Amino acid sequence: MGGKTDVAKGRIKEATGVLTGNDKLRAEGRTDQAVGKAEQAVQKTVKTVKKTVKKAIG
């Protein structure tokens, strides 16, 4: 899944966990959000590196 999808899924899980009092589900939601944000950061870095290399090569 993409980073944005993981963040959204995590928010839903976390909210569901809060509403139901399920601490495990809430923690899973937070983890999913962190993973999604990390994936977004990696994707952004890869895009920047590709752009820089392409610009350097000409």
- Of 17, 15, 36, 34, which is closest to residue 25 (Cα–Cα)? 17
In 1-58, which ranges are continuous DSSP H helix?
A: 3-20, 23-57
In the chain, the amino acid numbered 52 is T
Taking residues 14-21, report their average pLDDT.
98
Global pTM reads 0.84
How much is the CA Rg of the chain, to the nearest whole Å? 16
Token pair 């909210």: residue: 15
Kindly report, residue by residue over 19-47, the tens digit of the pLDDT: 999 999 999 999 999 999 999 999 999 99
Cα–Cα distance between 23 and 52 in angstroms, integer?
44
Q: Name the percent of the chain lying above pLDDT 70.
A: 98
